[in-house]
Structure 1
Amino acid sequence: METLLGSSTSRTGSADRAAPARPTGLSEHGRDTAAVLAGLDALRRDDHDYADGTVFNSICSAPLPVARQVFAQALDTNMGDNRIFPSLRRAETEVTALLGDLLGFPDAGGVATSGGTEANLLAVLAALRRDGRRARTGRPARIVLPESAHFSFDKILAMLGVEPVYAPLTPDLRVRVETLRSLVTEDTALVVATAGTSEAGAVDDVPAIAEHTRALGVPLHVDAATGGFLVPFARDLGHPLPPVGLDVPGVTSVTLDPHKYGGAPIPAGQLLVRDAADLDRLRVASHYRGTHDHHGLLGTRPGAAVLATWAALHTLGRAGYRTLVASVFERRELLLGLLRGAGFAVAPAPDLTVVTVRHPAPGQLVDALERRGFIASVARRYGLLRLVVHWHQSEEQLRALVAALTDADREIGGGAG
């Protein structure tokens, strides 16, 4: 897949290059292009490149070359004006059908979004408008969600005034299904499950949750921003993961992020819904004759992202994605073996591509690792070192990471394992 993924140029900035002078205001006559580009180069001198083998905290990666090309060619396109760019509505419709097919429901409705946060917000908003509890009773609606839910829901709950009911987790950081089921009643406006938690990559047992919510007539939203492009192909490859899409009876909506493992550029998200009526609940009429009504949060939306997603999906196809997912899972197994061989305690065993490590001082370890040029992260709620495996990493780079981790562990006084 080398020719499909391509490679990015390495960092050109230098740590000792002088920082650009702080501007005092917008210049009267501007600067010539060469000076602007030189200033930008200085501004980005400390940026990392996905291809340079130092980035191990990101679920995003460089987009496919074809997606990059399409995005650059379509920078002026606006999803908010269908008369100027009729291709965008056609592309959005086709992307929705392709992603619906990927998740087992080709007839899904959908809306392209800026990412998982917007898609999750729209799913909650549709549920609130379906439920109507606040209008009837004056009390906030309740949604049940795992303690592992993405922090986008913290924003959403605050914005929409929703009352959350949190379900605890098992030791492997999946939601405790029986407890969650006990928290769901006919008065629940929405239940959320996660197919690939951001912190640990854990996949909730969506079928077991959906069986209960469906019996009660309560909608179930699956946040598959991390796992939407991983789980279907990993299942094809024999990995023991549950189905997480609209092929599961009772799942009413799903969030995906093509800009994660889909090969699309940022920003590229998608909300899929089983029932087109949920899109009607999100409809906001345009004030202009001939302009389509809006279903997303944004008004002016980058059409380039939708076209680039279309290009990525058609370039890779199922076989291409399956090959990429197989390769990233192979790298995950290599990393697990290297970490255990170096004495680090992996916990819990990963479902997807996020590997977590138990360490007495994960923050100090990440800081020491960053001094060596590597970017990792700490899952703060669990006190775990977090490493993300992606297709921009090579075997050599994974070995270099573990060597640097071992050295960093010694620097801060040990404690691995």
Structure 2
Amino acid sequence: MATLPSSSPSPTGSPPPGEPAGARPHGLPDRGVPVERVLAELAGLCADDHDYRDGTVFNSICSTPLPVAEQVFAAHQQSNMGDNRIFPSLPRAEAEVTAMLADLMDGPGAAGVATSGGTEANLLAVLAALRHHRARFGAGAPARVLMGDSAHFSFDKIAALLAVEVVRVPSDERLRVDTGRLLPLVTPETALVVATAGSSESGAVDDVPAIAAHASALGVPVHVDAATGGFLVPFARELGDDLPAIGFGVDGVSSITLDPHKYGGAPIPAGHVLFRDPGAPDALRTSSHYRGTLDHHALLGTRPGGALLATWAALRAQGRNGYRASVAGLWERRALLVRLLTEAGFEVAPRPELTVVTVRHPSPEKLVDALEERGLIASVARRLGLLRLVVHWHQSERQLRGLVAALAEVDGGRP
């Protein structure tokens, strides 16, 4: 079982506190190090890392990619999405991945841009909305972006980069955005409203249909951040779950973020942003300086084409039936975890909607610290004060039982 390191390197690259200078090499060596030694050093460097499959990871929405995705990713490490002349497969793959994801989101004909993940996808959606807003109201018009306080913290980064004012609205008792507070704030001059389809903190799914109906009546676009729930909600609905629709089948939804490297089985980095209007990505265009090289629509230029090809392979290999079966298995694990926690005397609240299970506890930080001493990784949703556990396909029934047993053991010792 993996254990956590006692300290982490500082951002400057200097030795961690307490580690003597020179304890590990810093700087480029004068002469190349023999490969065998490099690999041995690398093994030491990674000795404290966890493997999703070792039964210790209960905090991550990411997991080990599907085997076919790992194989494709490894075989196409040189592929560069920034150079379509050398790799003409990549724009074709991007178009096909866009078509498959658009089909998943009930939006045939939607446009899409492959990204490094949800943060870049959200950034592009806000940027497109901002440029549309400026075209309507002028460059100096205030651009407000409304969302729940459960929206991902990537929007805090976006607000620091773009000339937008992010307004966060409190959540309801189920940790979704309180639509009673959100909707009155929407005006025709609002630049964008963001709905979260699976918050990373609690898995809560906002009422996308209600938000989109109100905003669209005022001519305001709605972006759905489905980085967490994009590969969960559609299939859970097919399995009979009472979850709101989140895709382009909802009138008023203008753009959607998806993260295939979460529950899509793709390797990191693999994100995507979809736009209902096929012409919307034109607002993101940056002209290339080179004849024959396609203009860019993403934030990044040079980027790993292997991740895109692996995403293509994962989507093709899984298909709807494969993802539906995966979600059914996740829901079984979730039900088991909730039952085990309840039987052990823990309060699961609120009722989980997706794969994040939150637990009310007087000292969630102490629980997590005690688990980490045992090599188990959980997390605390700090803003909510809740113990946060994430169900994923890398976990077995035995591992979930072991987690709850460890929780009960460490909780039994609290004062």
TM-score bucket (shorter structure): over 0.9
1:3 aligns with none
After superposition, the CA RMSD in angstroms is 1.8
2:364 aligns with 362
Among 352, 355, 371, the alignment partner of 1:353 is: 355
- For residue 24 of structure 1, report the CA deviation from its aligned partner: 4.0
Question: SS of the counterpart of 2:82?
Answer: coil
Contact between 1:191 and 1:219, CA under 8 Å: does it hold in 2?
yes
Contact between 2:3 and 2:375, CA under 8 Å: does it hold in 1?
no
> What are the ranges of 5 or more consecutive residues in structure 2 without an aligned counterpart?
7-18
> What are the ranges of 5 or more consecutive residues in structure 1 without an aligned counterpart?
1-9
TM-score, normalised by the number of residues in structure 1: 0.94
Contact between 1:147 and 1:167, CA under 8 Å: does it hold in 2?
yes
2:205 aligns with 203
Among 274, 278, 281, the alignment partner of 2:280 is: 278
Contact between 2:134 and 2:141, CA under 8 Å: does it hold in 1?
no
Alignment of 1:111-126 (within 5 A): 111-126=113-128
For 1:250, the aligned partner's letter is G
For 1:276, the aligned partner's letter is P
Contact between 1:165 and 1:183, CA under 8 Å: does it hold in 2?
no
Among 315, 318, 333, the alignment partner of 2:335 is: 333
- For residue 412 of structure 1, report the CA deviation from its aligned partner: 2.8
1:166 aligns with 168
Question: SS of the counterpart of 1:132?
Answer: helix
Looking at structure 2, the residues matched to 25 and 143 of structure 1 have their Cα atoms a distance apart, in angstroms, of 44
For 2:267, the aligned partner's letter is P
- For residue 138 of structure 1, report the CA deviation from its aligned partner: 2.6
- Identical columns (%): 67
Looking at structure 1, the residues matched to 47 and 303 of structure 2 have their Cα atoms a distance apart, in angstroms, of 30
Looking at structure 2, the residues matched to 220 and 402 of structure 1 have their Cα atoms a distance apart, in angstroms, of 39
Q: Structure 1 stretches (4+) deviating beyond 2 angstroms?
A: 10-15, 18-21, 133-140
Looking at structure 2, the residues matched to 133 and 356 of structure 1 have their Cα atoms a distance apart, in angstroms, of 43
2:374 aligns with 372
Alignment of 1:123-142 (within 5 A): 123-132=125-134, 136=138, 138-142=140-144
Contact between 1:222 and 1:255, CA under 8 Å: does it hold in 2?
yes
1:385/1:317 Cα in 2 relative to 1: closer, same or farther (>3 Å)?
A: same
- For residue 214 of structure 1, report the CA deviation from its aligned partner: 1.0
Looking at structure 1, the residues matched to 131 and 140 of structure 2 have their Cα atoms a distance apart, in angstroms, of 14
Contact between 1:368 and 1:412, CA under 8 Å: does it hold in 2?
no
TM-score, normalised by the number of residues in structure 2: 0.94
Question: SS of the counterpart of 2:260?
Answer: coil
2:297 aligns with 295
For 2:304, the aligned partner's letter is P
Alignment of 1:189-268 (within 5 A): 189-268=191-270
1:194/1:270 Cα in 2 relative to 1: closer, same or farther (>3 Å)?
A: same
1:189/1:14 Cα in 2 relative to 1: closer, same or farther (>3 Å)?
A: closer
Looking at structure 2, the residues matched to 346 and 53 of structure 1 have their Cα atoms a distance apart, in angstroms, of 21
Question: SS of the counterpart of 1:272?
Answer: strand
Contact between 2:212 and 2:250, CA under 8 Å: does it hold in 1?
yes
Looking at structure 2, the residues matched to 13 and 73 of structure 1 have their Cα atoms a distance apart, in angstroms, of 31
Looking at structure 2, the residues matched to 193 and 230 of structure 1 have their Cα atoms a distance apart, in angstroms, of 16
**Equivalent residue pairs, number:** 402
Among 38, 46, 50, the alignment partner of 1:48 is: 50
Question: SS of the counterpart of 1:276?
Answer: coil
2:71 aligns with 69
